[in-house]
Amino acid sequence: MDGDRPARVPDAEIASLRAREQGGFITLPKAPKPSTSLHPGDRLRVRRGPFTGLHGLYAGMAPHDRIVVLLQILGAKREVALARNDVTAGP
């Protein structure tokens, strides 16, 4: 929408959508798999955010370029999804 009016969509965009239509549905392009050099169990240190300074273990990837880190919090191990830029490898 453009305020209270429908927005104009370029003809090329409409043609692109129609070309991807299959059986009444639009097929979406596959998103590239996030690349990381980390492996499960790698040691990480949190650089920013509420867990700054804590150390944990890499547990895997999460959506939106986030990683899952296993942290020891309040006497229990917890999986926390953090932005990739908020952690660094190493002790």
> How many CA within 13 A on the CB side of residue 73?
13
Mean pLDDT of the chain: 88
pLDDT for the residue 87: 93
Q: Does the predicted TM-score (pTM) go above 0.75? A: no
Q: List the CATH code of the domain at 31-89.
A: 2.30.30.30
3 or 82, greater pLDDT:
82
| Domain map (residue ranges) of the chain | 31-89
Does position 37 have pLDDT exceeding 90, yes or no?
no
Terminal-residue alpha carbon distance, the chain: 50
Does position 25 have pLDDT exceeding 80, yes or no?
yes
Give the Å distances, CA to CA, from 62 to 8, 19, 20, 21, 33: 35, 31, 28, 29, 11
